[in-house]
Structure 1
Amino acid sequence: MQTKTVNENWSPAELIDLERYPILELSGDATRELTRHCRDQLDRTGACELPGFLKPDAVAMLVREGDLLAARAYHSVVTGTPYLEAPDPSWPNDHPRKFFEPTSVGVVAYDQFPDNSPMRQLFEWDPLMEFIAAALKKDRLFRYADPMGALNLAVMGDGERLRWHYDQTDFVTSIALQPSEAGGDFEYVPLIRSATDENYPRVKRLLEGSSTEVVHVAMNPGTLLLFEGRNSIHRVTPIVGHTTRLVALLAYDTKPGTRSSKGLQMARYGRVA
C-alpha cells in the first residue's frame, strides 16, 4: 500500500491506530477499559502514555508536515522561575521561587496551520476531544478559543530547552512526532506538591541537582501523552544535534472561550491576536 503525502486527504480516523485504541465507542467495554487505564495512570503518576496512538505512516506524514511548518516557528529565550511568576522580594535568595533558569523553544501557532493540515483536522475532530475528556474523567472539554494557542507545534533545535516548571493549567495533551539526536528528554517528578503543601525542601533539592524520583519519558514518535503538570514539576533537557525535536500540543479546557493573555501571546509567539 502506498503512503499518502501531506497534500492528500487524511481523515483524522486514518491517523489513529483504532484497533489498539478504540476511541470511537465511548460506551463500549474496550473503550471503558482504556479510559480506566488512563485514569489509573494519571491518579498514580500524573501522566498517561499511549504509545503507538498514531500509526507509523501517519507519524511519518506529520513529520513531513512539521518540517514544512518549522520554518514559521517563533523562537524565544525567556528566563524565569519554576512558578512562572515574578518572585516576592521577601523570599530568601536560595528559595525555589527565586530560582531562575532559561527556557528556549520555537513555536508554530494555531493560525499558522493551513486549514487542510492533518494535524489541525485531528485537533478539531470531536471524537478525539471526547475521548480525552473521558480519559481525564471530565464531563466535557472545549477547545481553546485562543487563535494562536489552541494548537501548537513545539520546534526545538540544538541547545534549546524547557526549564523546570509547573503548568498553570490542569492538564496538557501532546503528541510526540520526532525526537532529537540526543537530549530533549521529558522529565518530571510525579505529584511533588499538592494544594496544601508546596514541598519547598524537596523542590530545592531537585533544582540543586538531585535526581531522586525523577521520571524519564522516552520520546517515542506517535505517543499521545496526557499530563497533569500543575503539581508535577517537569522540564525538557537541552537538545543536542541537528535533528529538530517536534511535538504537537493540543489545548483544551473545561470552560468555553479560554484565551491566553496578550502578554503570554507576545512572549510565546512574538505577536498578539
Structure 2
Amino acid sequence: MQTKVAKENRSPADLIDLARYPILDLNGAVTRELTRHCRDQLDRTGACALPGFLTPAAVAMLVREGDSLAALAYHSVVTGTPYLEAPDPSWPNGHPRKFFEPTSVGVVAYDQFPGDSPMRQLFEWEPLMQFIAAALQKDRLHRYADPMGALNLAVMGDGERLHWHFDQTDFVTSIALRPSEAGGDFEYVPLIRNATDENYPRVQCLLEGSSAGVVRVAMHPGTLLLFEGRNSIHRVTPISGRTTRLVALLAYDTKPGTRSSKGLQMARYGRVA
C-alpha cells in the first residue's frame, strides 16, 4: 500500500498548491510578500498558519499513508511541568514550575517511514526547507540529524492530550492532516513570556483555568503551521472519538547535527537510536 501511495505523486512539488504558494520562486514578488507576511505574523503572534498549503488530493494521500503507519506509533504517557524539566526543590508548592499535568500521544518516528513515503520525500525536499528558512528569515536551515526525531507523525486517539508547555526549540513546523471527531484543539497564549520576564502570575492564572488571552487554532487539513513555542505556552486538548488526529512534525534547526538526547528518545519512542 505504501508503494502504491508513493506512486500517486512522484514529486513533492505535486503535493503543494503552488498556484497559491509559489515556493519555488523565492525571489518572486508574490513569494517575497508571503515570507514577509509569515515573519510579521510570527513576530506579532508567535504563529503563522498557511491554510491549503497542501492540495486536497495530497492530504487524502498522506492520510492514507498515516493510517497505514499508525499501528507503528509508540504511545507514551508522561507527567511533566510546562517547562519540560524537573523543578528545583526551592520553588514553592503551587508555583507554575511545580505544576504537573499528563501528556499522552502516539508517535511514528522518522526511521519508520519507508524510503518511498511521500511525507518523507516532502520533508527531505530542499525547496520546502529553503522556503521555511525564508519565512523565518533565517540564512539557512538544516534537517535534524536525529534518526527518529527528524520527521514524526503524531497520532492521537481517544483520551490523549498534550499538556500546557513551552517548547525548548526556537520553532516547530507542522502540517495538519486530519482532526479528531471532537477535542484535539491546538490552543496557545501568544508571547506570554520573554527572555527577561517569565510572567509567572499570568502563567499561574492560565494553569488554574483562566482562558484570558488563549487563542484556538482551528485544525484544517493541509495547513502548514510555523510556530515559535519557546515563549508562547500551548497545548492540545483531550481527544474524543474513534478518529485519530494526525499531524506531521518536520524538524529543522539553524545548526547542523541536532539530535535528541537518549532520555528524550526513550520517553518519546520507547527506544534509543
TM tier, smaller:
over 0.9
- Residue 249 (1) aligns with residue 223 (2): no
Note the 1:79-98 alignment, pairs <5 A: 79-98=79-98
Instruction: Report the Cα distance in structure 1 between the residues aligned to 2:150 and 2:20, rounded to whole angstroms.
Output: 27
Deviations 1:38-76 (CA, angstroms, capped at 9, x unpaired):
011101000000000000010000000000000000000
Note the 1:1-273 alignment, pairs <5 A: 6-10=5-9, 11-273=11-273
Residue segments in structure 2 that go unaligned for 5+ positions in a row: none
- What amino acid is aligned across from residue 169 of structure 1 in structure 2? T
TM-score using structure 1 length: 0.98
- What amino acid is aligned across from residue 262 of structure 1 in structure 2? K
Sequence identity (%): 87
Instruction: Report the Cα distance in structure 1 between the residues aligned to 2:244 and 2:5, rounded to whole angstroms.
Output: 19
CA RMSD after TM alignment:
0.9
Q: Is contact 1:48–1:227 with CA below 8 Å preserved after alignment? A: yes
Q: Is contact 1:179–1:246 with CA below 8 Å preserved after alignment? A: yes
Residue segments in structure 1 that go unaligned for 5+ positions in a row: none
Instruction: Report the Cα distance in structure 2 between the residues aligned to 1:112 and 1:240, rounded to whole angstroms.
Output: 26
Deviations 1:205-261 (CA, angstroms, capped at 9, x unpaired):
000000000000001000000000000000000000000000000000000000000
- What amino acid is aligned across from residue 206 of structure 1 in structure 2? L
Deviations 1:98-143 (CA, angstroms, capped at 9, x unpaired):
0000000000000000000000000000000000000001000000
Describe the SS at the equivalent of 2:235. strand
Instruction: Report the Cα distance in structure 2 between the residues aligned to 1:259 and 1:160, rounded to whole angstroms.
Output: 26
Instruction: Report the Cα distance in structure 1 between the residues aligned to 2:91 and 2:256, rounded to whole angstroms.
Output: 36
Deviations 1:149-183 (CA, angstroms, capped at 9, x unpaired):
00000000000000000000000000000000000
Q: Is contact 1:5–1:61 with CA below 8 Å preserved after alignment? A: no
Q: CA deviation at 1:8?
A: 1.4
Instruction: Report the Cα distance in structure 1 between the residues aligned to 2:254 and 2:41, rounded to whole angstroms.
Output: 20
Q: CA deviation at 1:7?
A: 3.9
- What amino acid is aligned across from residue 5 of structure 2 in structure 1? V
Q: CA deviation at 1:9?
A: 4.6
Instruction: Report the Cα distance in structure 2 between the residues aligned to 1:258 and 1:172, rounded to whole angstroms.
Output: 14
- What amino acid is aligned across from residue 105 of structure 2 in structure 1? V
TM-score using structure 2 length: 0.98
Q: Is contact 1:74–1:106 with CA below 8 Å preserved after alignment? A: yes
Instruction: Report the Cα distance in structure 2 between the residues aligned to 1:77 and 1:50, rounded to whole angstroms.
Output: 31
